[in-house]
Amino acid sequence: MTNLENLIQCLLSRAKATTCVLLLGFLCGCNNSPEPVSWGKIIPGTTETVAPSPVPTSNHLVVYLDVSSSMAGYVAPNGKVNFAVSPDGQTIFSHALQELRNVVTTLNPSVNIVFRRIASTVESPSYSDLELGQASVNRGIYTGAETNLAGAINLFSTPLKVSSPTKTSEGELAEDNSPAPPARFHILVTDGVQSTKQQRTDGSCTAGSDYVCVKKAINALLEKGWAGCVIGVKSEFNGKVFSEIKPGLSIQYESKKADPKTHRPFYFYIFSPDPAAIDKLVDALKGRLRPMLKQEESLREYAISTRYAESAGSAEIIVPKESANNLERTKARDETPARLTLRVDLNTEKKGPQPFNIAVSVPWSGHAKDSGMPQELGSLLRWELIEVPLQGSSVDSKERTRFPEVRLVGQQVDEQSRPIVQATAHWPQGTGTPRWKAYRLVGRLDVEKQTPPWVSQWSTNVDTTADVANRTLNLESALAGLWRNSIMEKQVIAEAYLRVGPQ
């Protein structure tokens, strides 16, 4: 029996009046409100991810230690003093150097530590990690009058010169007279202040505290495809802070044992030519450092090229009361990437754009979580709404069609620390058969934001008084803009698909 025959029989029976109305509504609505386009026509089929080829490196972790006089205050006199928080009287800085020796035992494949001191120049490498242990308890090695950080970073990509064949990460031997790969890991330990008394002969740095040359050295590595991050750690300090703004001025500074906010920061600049390897090292090092800290905020990370999210995350549409009569959402399933459906009343062509929100839950990585508080992380993203062509769909060229329109109008972070993407939807004025439209919502790191918030909080532009000795001179300027590299600009941190059609 056809639908028309059902309708006629229905009209002849009062007992079936209710069914009649429903069936009539179905027949009238089927032409005006087409079913949503299938997700298979919106979301591209999954493709097999090809693992990147291993990058040739030598099996070394090179530690470059700033041994300028300004570093001495991080080490307790005679290896023990009562200003340190730990029971053994050693500072967080001292324990951190010791943990660098320990962390290599957790890496697979294993690496050997190489030690290099930095002052006005970068000393030749020592292949004994005993010097690193001695530097953790002996103030006497910190006597340098200059700190050539840029000189150290410029050496990262230079292969080590050793007296015997070096085994590379691929198990091959590189003879002394053949090109050798760079070391797998490079860690620069410093208070973060470039300091030279005169112009460098290579023209890379001017006299004084020239942070620009440090930034140039880091950018040169990023342009070569290197991966890196900066870890900041606050430690007890009791010693002299030497002013760069007013040469000759030294300030005696002592942090308070019971107040971590008075601790003075030091930094690990960690880089590797192998982006796939650096995550393991950073995670292992932070895991060994964190138990010795009294406050979570005493360790922070500026992830310059590592991942900020573990997956694409989830999302949901939130329709405010003022749009409830014009917008209807379909609850999304727990799928990756998120799939959202929104129906829009055709009357919005007269009423105008109707507001709605998309709340995104981002599974932040450990790198991201150490870059800021949850509320801060949400504000670091920029959002883009991209129209998705429907795969395999065809419309009669003679048929007049019309489509809804969605626009992004703003963003904020809610009380659950979720990024909220603010948008509007409506039907533009026109004629034709209403059809469905699809979009891809993409969240990436906003590289226009120069650094994570903690960097500016730990930075100062003066160094002539003791009240700013718990901050680092020109840190924000030295690290600003390092996000602007090809890895971070392309990295998708969150995404969701949205299909929009008539109610």
Using alpha carbons, select from 58, 55, 62 the residue that is nearest to residue 173: 58
Q: How far apart are CA 277 and CA 53, in angstroms?
A: 12
Distance separating alpha carbons of residues 476 and 4, to the nearest angstrom: 74
Q: Return the exposure string of 452-464: e unless at least 16 CB atoms fall within 10 Å of the residue's CB, then b.
A: bbbbeebbbeebe
Question: In this predicted model, which residue has the larger pLDDT, 475 or 44?
Answer: 475
Least confident of 117-126, 328-337, 366-375: 328-337
Asked if pLDDT for residue 273 goes beyond 50, the answer is: yes
Which of 28 and 259 is assigned the larger pLDDT? Answer: 259
Burial class (CB in 10 A: 0-12, 13-18, 19+), 264: buried
pLDDT of 268 > 90? The answer is yes
**Residue 267 has what pLDDT?**
98
Q: Could you read off the pLDDT of 277-301 as tens digits, one per residue? A: 999 999 999 999 999 998 889 999 9
Predicted confidence at residue 52, as pLDDT, reads 66
Residues 271 and 186 sit within 8 Å (Cβ to Cβ): yes
| String of DSSP letters for 345-410 | -TTHHHH--EEEEEEEE--B-HHHHTTS-HHHHHTTEEEEEEE-PPTT----TTS-EE--EEEEEE
**pLDDT band for position 205 (50/70/90)?**
low
The pTM assigned to this predicted structure is 0.85
pLDDT of residue 48: 57
Give 339's strand partners.
497
Q: Would you say 258 and 82 are in contact if contact means Cβ atoms under 8 Å apart?
A: no
**With contact defined as beta carbons under 8 Å apart, do 447 and 482 qualify?**
no
For residue 349, pLDDT beyond 60: yes
